[in-house]
Structure 1
Amino acid sequence: MSRAKKNTTTAAAPQPWHSMAPSTVLERFKSNPHGLTDQEAAERYQKNGPNRLPTYKRRGPAIRLFLQFHNLLIYVLIGAALLSLVLGHGIDALVIAAVVLLNALIGFIQEGQAEKALDAIRTMIDPHCSVLRDNCRHSIAADHVVPGDIVFLDAGDRVPADLRLLSSHALHMDEAALTGESLPVEKHTGSLAQSTALADRSNMAYTGSYVASGQGMGVVVATAQNTQLGQIGTMLQKVEVPKTPLIIQMDQFARTLALLTLSVAAIAFLYTTLIGTTPVADAFMAVIGLAVSAIPEGLPAVLSITLALGVQRMAKRHAIIRRLPAVETLGAVSVICTDKTGTLTRNEMTVSALALSDAAYDVTGAGYEPEGAILQDGQTIDPAGHPGLPALLEVAALCNDARIRKSGSTHVAEGDPMEAALITLAMKAGQDLAQIRHQFPRRTALPFDARHRFMATLHPDAQGQCFAAIKGAPEKLLAICTKERNAQGEDRPIDLAGWHKKIGQLAAQGQRVLAFAVKSFPADKQEISVQDFETDAVFLGCMGFIDPPRKEVASAIKDCHTASIHVVMITGDHAATATEIARQIGLSNTPETITGAELDRMDDPALAAAITKTDVFARTTPEHKLRLVEAFQKQKRVLAMTGDGVNDAPALKRADVGVAMGKKGTEAAKQAADMVLADDNFSSIVAAVREGRTVYDNLMKVIGWTLPTSIGEAMTILIALFFGLALPVTPVQILWINMITAVALGTTLAFEPTEPGTMSRPPRKSGRPILDGALIWQVLFLSVLFLAGAFGVFYKAQANGLPIEAARTIVVNTLVVMEIFYLFSVRYIHGSSITLRGVIGTKAVLIGVALVAVGQLAFTYLPAMQAVFDTRPISLVDGAIILLIGIALIVIVEMEKKIRRTFFARKTGKI
């Protein structure tokens, strides 16, 4: 294992860096505002190692390929191949071997893809950065940055290491990939409390985040694996990928089937040889036939086809599956933990409310499309008829650096998302932005800064004077305003208490609030500074912003509730914002919310109790997300987790189904996930769950059809052995039945459409075995019917004086016809098959039946096939009897199915 050397300087810190003053941090690292010397930097590089995430020793390709065969079901298949060779059926052995090799190759490729998650995180460290050394600015390779270095930050830069900021000038950081914060975060240099959450550490800059705007400078406090990003990489390496429910069930199924088959075969061989009813050689061949008939060698191939078809159907619903078993796992999902920004919401800021001193307005429309209107008391208004509104809208458009451009049929924002929302609002209000900016050209601007918390632009007015358009934090603008403007456009003394109440109401609704003001200046004013805005401004009003929910999400959430799926929002956003969005999308009428700080105070029992009733987890870190995933899994819940940032990668990898965003997701998230949403839409997850349930239903149909038919064939041989009777069917003929029906009939069940009411049922229990009581009863019941049919026609044929070869031919055709009719019954697990839709079948079923019919005609009448399988032609009367047996089978099975459903419905009180 190759690791970077330990950063001993970082480890010595007695308290978090964000809680220290900049001078203290510099002192800790024996650095200064002029930067390190080249010699100091070289010594620290030798001591701490390169600023690269560690690489870990991985299993080699040969070992990974070998381990793909380390599975009991694979051993059973290999045994089936060897038995086929013993029987002289090399073609069957080759088919089984091909299935084994194909499954191993798929697993080998998928495991290699999974290991790319760490590589994707490593690419998040930019190759170069600017540092201050010997009081001179240098551009160096990012992996040569050391603790104590002074790093420059400019717009567009990616942060090369964790920094404690020393200076900040209108600095905004895009930390969405690390913290989940949807908007750029403003930065400052003041010290913070030790308990400050990661997303709120506004005096820090973290590895992998971007500089959205402004400039800054900081001292390096952590490099390589000691950074927040490096800790996520370490966490990701330690996360164990859980086995999917299907793999667990198939492992149990393989063990049970293998043990049962080998035990019964051994007992049958000992019994027949000890009592002497059958010669040893014949007994051995019969027991091999018994084992081959009981082992459904075509089942793994059909299961793989079923999963692959599920992948194709999900791709049409914008859900790209990266790991095949995830298709089925989706059907067992009982909890969906979803991110908010971009998944439940549009990730496009929108002005939703306007407040003047004596009037309130709502704004319709979402995103950056200029479609919508301004409403008062539910009625659309013309802003020109409300004199206070045009001034507010003009200031919002003038004190603004964003723009909206049309790209194809959609509008795209460039610049700060909230400023873009203001431009969109002006367009909705019918304002001519070009005319406004021409009428009031900008002379100069005072950029937003975390220290003064507002932005101002200076413009000449129509009266030959000039004015400043101001926007910023409400509490800051209220402090510099002495007057307010009402809806009639009149100025009057400001009502501070009234404004604090309005702003509090907007904030309580989860809206981000911006305030707007103007201040008059003499005509010759050319420059402005912070000192020009200490008093005498006029407060125009404020606006509430939201990242609106996607319109289809509420319906998808309702579908989840109907399907008994618990949906939980886990976000890095503020609690109030997340709670309001949860209410709007119908997560709950009164959402229960827990913050990351509250999570930290909970022990495991308290958390276990909390997750069952909590709808929203806000201000969460990567550690919180991973802990929540594991808490749900401890309760035996099958969990899907969505995410788009590198901070989500550990939780995505640990979840039963990790779901990454395709449009706005990081490469690390995509590589760690099992599924990628091409449209970043929550409703696509719900559609994928529906497909997952369909896939599982189809898998159960395949198993429910394969096992009874295989065991029925095996029982036919077993009974004949135990009673010393002539075999109604030979081992070679059983191989023919298994080969033609598994391929032509079993595969058709993979194409079955979704049954009605699929999303009205609760998720299946993850620990439920494949061989449960219902399937065991089904196997026994069908085995008896197959046994009766096989022996019935066999002894009837012999009673009619037919040779044993003709009798066995009739038995083979009877078994195949019974399997065809049983196929029509098993197609509907949750309903009756005797309907027009059930009788007609799907296109795949009809093609499969036609292929089997042609195969059986060749098996029965072609001389070459007669020579290989020792068959004889059969009469039309015998053919009609075989067909009637098939009809009788489906009638009996459907009657039993109805009786069983009625019994359980009464038992559970649903009838």
Structure 2
Amino acid sequence: MTQRRAPRTAGRVPPPWHTLSTEQVRQQLGDDPGGLSDAQVQQRLTEYGENRLAPPKRRGPWMRLLLQFHNILLYVMMAAALVTALLGHWIDTGVLMGAVVINALIGFVQEGKAESALDAIRDMLSSTAMVLRDGKRQQIDAAQLVPGDRVLLASGDRVPADLRLINSKELRIEEAALTGESLPVEKSTDAVAADAPLGDRHGMAYSGTLVVYGQACGLVVATGADTELGKINQMLSSVDSMTTPLLRQIDRFGRLLAVAILGLGALVFLLGTLWRGETPAEMFMMVVALVASAIPEGLPAIMTVTLALGVQRMARQQAIVRRLPAVETLGSVTVICSDKTGTLTRNEMTVQRVVCAGHVFEVGGVGYAPVGDFSLDGRIIDLTHYPALQQAIQAGVLCNDASLHVNADSQWHVDGDPTEGALLVLGAKAGQTQDASNAQWPRRDSIPFESQHRFMASHHVDPAGESWLLVKGAPERLLEMCSRQRSAHGEEPLDPDYWRRMATDTAAQGLRLLALAARRAAPAGEMLGFEDVAEGFTMLALVGIIDPPRSEAIDAVAECHAAGIRVKMITGDHGETARAIGAQLGIGVGKPAVTGAEVALMDDAALRRVAMEVDVFARASPEHKLRLVQALQDDGQVVSMTGDGVNDAPALKRADVGVAMGNKGTEAAKEAADVVLADDNFASIASAVREGRAVYDNLKKFILFMLPTNGGEALVVIAALMLGLGLPLTPAQVLWINMVTSGTLGLALAFEPAEDGIMRRRPRPPGSALLSGFFIWRVLMVSVLMMIGAFGLFVWELQSGTGIEAARTMAVNAVVMAEMFYLINSRSIFASVLNREGLLGNRYALAAIAVCIALQLAFTYAPWMQNLFGSAGLSPLEWSKVLGAGLLVFLVAELEKWVIRRTGLATRLAERG
């Protein structure tokens, strides 16, 4: 296929198509009224290629599978498997390698799902197109479209390529998936300025968008990868997914731990052979035991379980997690970039204000449910005292082509134009239902809304048999048709300045405006014509309509702000609307809004500064959204992006956590995202952030619990080596301790509920290490305490004449007993557990301790376990010594937490993550 290039004539590249008049477009493309000939089609197919989106280059399945093993967590597990294989513990080796393979397979499947985002965009292309070729209408495979083709559009069609409209009749196109515009866009054939945003290019129809009303003819100006949809597809293909903060921390942690383990092993080997004079063979087994004790082989498994439990909890909060690491990443976000329509708002147009002559009424209730009061100056009113308001509402119900109904789930829905639906809901709140109004005032004829006329008109007959003409439309257009206005005192001369002032005031609040007018008259002829509605009308009211913010979203934004998370609105909607909604939500209050056109003019440095300072961005294209996410990430932020359209897909993929809408989101958005909101509600994101923070807390608790076990074991081995004693723990016993403590005790921490005040913390710094200085101190402290207990008992028993098997058994039980007590300590990093909730609040921890006790009794007394591990039975006195070793760890750890709380360090340490 030859390389694509923009359609051109005589070697000259045309300016942007939306800036050209229809005649200029026809001239540039060599248009003929009968369409292209077969010869022209074949020549252009050769030049421009088929109207398809090329599939991206993908790694083969074997390479994708192999790359899943390139993961520090899996390296740790494979190292542990190698150690167990050297020790001849083949069952342990098999279990560890099985976990490695399962983790790799999960990653392989998830990566395959991620690639389907590009397939979802290609599926948006229309499969067929109605064209005019060789003077005949014919339906063709949309892949065969070429620049210059005449395409005919009708209601219900999906636009098959980027078109420049050359004639249009009542055309309205749903472009929300591409531009974020919440309402269908009225199209015309007019040219616009070169810098007009995508949503304001009214003379263009873009591939993948949906015709919801009217008819049109357009000339193809771009196909395949050259379309706006194709550019998004290319952008998505080139965007690299970000690795999560947790995986970056685990990677750093794993590398440091591996270096520390290898360095410690080498040091011990050299000290033993050169200083203590031990044989290399004996020292090698000692180092193997040390390495076995230090490797946290339980970490990957516990991490997976903890994340999986977080997935389940998030699902109950309506957040469906598609990629496991996103669970924790949500808890670490510092900035949430949210789309407006349907996420922060209800995506249900609602009348909030009705302006009559002399009165401004506020309307309560949101959405399509017909529930709400009418108020004047803050007081709820009786509509019967305001006939002008009643007449205006009635006009909005009658001069209307939409319908309002309730489904089996008691949910209200609008069929037709959302703005007209809002007028029907207004009428229902006032007790004027559509069916009753139409029955009493039957419609005789109507003039449908046309963009060039900017109004709709209808002819009705009232119960007394008199004819009425009703109109609704753009305020400035209706003011030209009106000479009078209806007030509380009846009809009076029109005050145009009043209506213009009120229109400006209402629009400044982000409300879309409609005007309503009436005239007691009949059409001059049998049919209602434009000459019947040219003048003589009485202005009834201005209606202010908006897609209102969700009440729960307002609370969720406030909760995010309290948690130290910045919330930014990035929308394709108009700036005035975005600012007004943002102010109601508490986003960007007192700050300017920045448009996509302004973003396009900024360099990367300026954009980074503006991205941090400004919270509302309007008329943003896919490129603008992607640049904003990248700018925030370049500033060191952990970014979550929400969206529902194809235009959001590149930014969703680039963000640290992409969040798509489940109900009204496109498949492309869902496939590019990490999390899908089942209820399309921003409040669910705030709940998911809470769960994500709880997951990270639990992972930290597990690591703080696990590392002292490994550290204590390592210190026991080192102490024995330095003192020239036999091994207090054999390699097999070390693996037994790790299996028991990680497999039973550590697992209980994955079930810990979120701590109080978790959403009042600041987000942890994005570059923070998994182990802070405080964590290292706690690990060393508890490791030393465990070493004192276990090694102290081992030496004590040997000096008392106890056999090596019994002494080792006491050392093993001392380590495990200390871990059982320390598990209770670890339920809270800073808070005391010396209360009913702390001691008994996690039933999984109590169950794990019970299982661990049973396992240790079997380890100590079961003959086959004694033969396998070299253990021996203990007396009650010896068990009391073991219990004392565990209490030593518990009491000192609680004392340390008390000191930290009393000195105020707990709050500062929590803020640092």
TM-score by length of 1: 0.97
Whole-angstrom CA distance in 1 between matches of 2:567 and 2:208: 30
Whole-angstrom CA distance in 1 between matches of 2:792 and 2:710: 18
CA shift digits 1:314-334 (9 cap, x unpaired) = 001000000011011111100
Check the 8 A contact 2:268/2:287 in 1, yes or no: yes
Check the 8 A contact 2:345/2:548 in 1, yes or no: yes
Deviation at 1:591, TM superposition (A): 4.2
- In structure 2, the residue matched to 1:720 is 720
Deviation at 1:799, TM superposition (A): 2.3
Deviation at 1:795, TM superposition (A): 1.5
- In structure 2, the residue matched to 1:818 is 818
Q: Which amino acid aligns with 1:649?
A: A
- In structure 2, the residue matched to 1:532 is 532
SS at match of 1:447: strand
SS at match of 2:864: helix
- Compared with structure 1, are the counterparts of its residues 49 and 494 closer, same or farther at alpha carbon in structure 2 (3 Å cutoff)? same
CA shift digits 1:567-588 (9 cap, x unpaired) = 0011111111111111112225
- Compared with structure 1, are the counterparts of its residues 757 and 523 closer, same or farther at alpha carbon in structure 2 (3 Å cutoff)? closer
Identity %: 49
- In structure 2, the residue matched to 1:606 is 606
- In structure 2, the residue matched to 1:359 is 359
Please list, as runs of the form range in 1=range in 2, the aligned pairs for 1:671-750 lying within 5 A after superposition.
671-750=671-750
- Compared with structure 1, are the counterparts of its residues 279 and 909 closer, same or farther at alpha carbon in structure 2 (3 Å cutoff)? closer
- In structure 1, the residue matched to 2:508 is 508
**1:238 and 2:238 correspond:** yes
- In structure 1, the residue matched to 2:771 is 771
Q: Which amino acid aligns with 1:771?
A: L
Q: Which moved more, 1:259-268 or 1:232-241?
A: 259-268
Check the 8 A contact 1:716/1:728 in 2, yes or no: yes
Deviation at 1:75, TM superposition (A): 2.5
Please list, as runs of the form range in 1=range in 2, the aligned pairs for 1:470-619 lying within 5 A after superposition.
470-488=471-489, 490-522=490-522, 525-619=525-619
Deviation at 1:466, TM superposition (A): 2.6
Check the 8 A contact 1:349/1:545 in 2, yes or no: yes
Q: Which moved more, 1:364-373 or 1:676-685?
A: 364-373
Deviation at 1:730, TM superposition (A): 1.1
Whole-angstrom CA distance in 2 between matches of 1:373 and 1:198: 38
Please list, as runs of the form range in 1=range in 2, the aligned pairs for 1:333-482 lying within 5 A after superposition.
333-408=333-408, 409-461=410-462, 464-482=465-483
Whole-angstrom CA distance in 2 between matches of 1:98 and 1:899: 44
CA shift digits 1:551-596 (9 cap, x unpaired) = 1111111111110000001111111111111111222542431111
Deviating 4+ runs (over 4 angstroms): 461-465, 906-911
Q: Which moved more, 1:647-656 or 1:437-446?
A: 437-446
Deviation at 1:462, TM superposition (A): 5.1
Deviation at 1:373, TM superposition (A): 2.0
Q: Which amino acid aligns with 1:240?
A: D
Q: Which amino acid aligns with 1:127?
A: S
Q: Which moved more, 1:544-553 or 1:675-684?
A: 544-553
Structure 2, unpaired ranges of 5+: none
CA shift digits 1:329-381 (9 cap, x unpaired) = 11110000001110111000011111111111111111111111222222232
SS at match of 2:528: coil
Q: Which amino acid aligns with 2:564?
A: S
SS at match of 1:492: strand
Q: Which amino acid aligns with 2:391?
A: A
Whole-angstrom CA distance in 2 between matches of 1:744 and 1:801: 34
Check the 8 A contact 1:4/1:224 in 2, yes or no: no
Deviation at 1:8, TM superposition (A): 4.0
Whole-angstrom CA distance in 1 between matches of 2:433 and 2:258: 77
Whole-angstrom CA distance in 2 between matches of 1:220 and 1:384: 56
Please list, as runs of the form range in 1=range in 2, the aligned pairs for 1:68-79 lying within 5 A after superposition.
68-79=68-79
Deviation at 1:461, TM superposition (A): 4.2
Please list, as runs of the form range in 1=range in 2, the aligned pairs for 1:178-327 lying within 5 A after superposition.
178-327=178-327
Q: Which amino acid aligns with 2:713?
A: E
- In structure 2, the residue matched to 1:894 is 894
Q: Which moved more, 1:730-739 or 1:666-675?
A: 730-739
Deviation at 1:534, TM superposition (A): 2.8
Whole-angstrom CA distance in 2 between matches of 1:402 and 1:520: 24
CA shift digits 1:199-240 (9 cap, x unpaired) = 111111111111111111111110100000000000000001
Deviation at 1:767, TM superposition (A): 1.0
Check the 8 A contact 2:571/2:619 in 1, yes or no: yes
Deviation at 1:746, TM superposition (A): 0.9
SS at match of 1:115: helix
- In structure 2, the residue matched to 1:759 is 759
- In structure 2, the residue matched to 1:32 is 32
Check the 8 A contact 2:786/2:885 in 1, yes or no: no
Deviation at 1:904, TM superposition (A): 5.2
SS at match of 2:190: coil
Check the 8 A contact 2:455/2:473 in 1, yes or no: yes
- In structure 2, the residue matched to 1:882 is 882
- Compared with structure 1, are the counterparts of its residues 802 and 428 closer, same or farther at alpha carbon in structure 2 (3 Å cutoff)? same
Q: Which moved more, 1:182-191 or 1:603-612?
A: 603-612
Whole-angstrom CA distance in 2 between matches of 1:356 and 1:33: 50
Whole-angstrom CA distance in 2 between matches of 1:739 and 1:907: 34
Whole-angstrom CA distance in 1 between matches of 2:774 and 2:523: 88
Q: Which amino acid aligns with 2:476?
A: E
Check the 8 A contact 2:442/2:462 in 1, yes or no: no
Q: Which moved more, 1:107-116 or 1:437-446?
A: 437-446
Deviation at 1:646, TM superposition (A): 0.2
Q: Which moved more, 1:774-783 or 1:461-470?
A: 461-470
- Compared with structure 1, are the counterparts of its residues 700 and 18 closer, same or farther at alpha carbon in structure 2 (3 Å cutoff)? same
Q: Which moved more, 1:502-511 or 1:611-620?
A: 611-620
SS at match of 2:791: helix
Q: Which moved more, 1:858-867 or 1:525-534?
A: 525-534
Structure 1, unpaired ranges of 5+: none
- Compared with structure 1, are the counterparts of its residues 267 and 675 closer, same or farther at alpha carbon in structure 2 (3 Å cutoff)? same
CA shift digits 1:77-108 (9 cap, x unpaired) = 22221211111111111111011111111111
Check the 8 A contact 1:356/1:486 in 2, yes or no: yes
Whole-angstrom CA distance in 1 between matches of 2:889 and 2:506: 68
Q: Which amino acid aligns with 2:301?
A: A
Whole-angstrom CA distance in 1 between matches of 2:112 and 2:248: 22
- In structure 1, the residue matched to 2:23 is 23
Deviation at 1:56, TM superposition (A): 1.8
Q: Which moved more, 1:875-884 or 1:5-14?
A: 5-14
Q: Which amino acid aligns with 1:718?
A: I
Whole-angstrom CA distance in 2 between matches of 1:857 and 1:401: 79
Q: Which amino acid aligns with 2:787?
A: L
Check the 8 A contact 2:77/2:100 in 1, yes or no: yes
Whole-angstrom CA distance in 2 between matches of 1:166 and 1:417: 27
Deviation at 1:760, TM superposition (A): 0.8
Q: Which amino acid aligns with 1:852?
A: C
Whole-angstrom CA distance in 1 between matches of 2:604 and 2:382: 56
- In structure 1, the residue matched to 2:113 is 113
SS at match of 1:478: helix
CA shift digits 1:278-312 (9 cap, x unpaired) = 23222111110100110011111011101111001
- In structure 2, the residue matched to 1:153 is 153
Whole-angstrom CA distance in 2 between matches of 1:398 and 1:745: 70
- In structure 2, the residue matched to 1:9 is 7
The number of equivalent residue pairs is 908
Check the 8 A contact 1:37/1:133 in 2, yes or no: yes
Check the 8 A contact 2:588/2:615 in 1, yes or no: yes
Check the 8 A contact 1:4/1:52 in 2, yes or no: no
CA shift digits 1:740-783 (9 cap, x unpaired) = 11100111111100011101110111111113212221221112
Deviation at 1:525, TM superposition (A): 3.1
Check the 8 A contact 1:712/1:787 in 2, yes or no: yes
SS at match of 1:688: helix
Q: Which moved more, 1:774-783 or 1:747-756?
A: 774-783
Deviation at 1:600, TM superposition (A): 1.9
CA shift digits 1:23-80 (9 cap, x unpaired) = 1111111113321122212221222111111112200010011011123432332222
Deviation at 1:901, TM superposition (A): 4.1
- In structure 2, the residue matched to 1:141 is 141
Check the 8 A contact 1:96/1:298 in 2, yes or no: no
Q: Which moved more, 1:604-613 or 1:154-163?
A: 604-613
Check the 8 A contact 2:830/2:906 in 1, yes or no: no
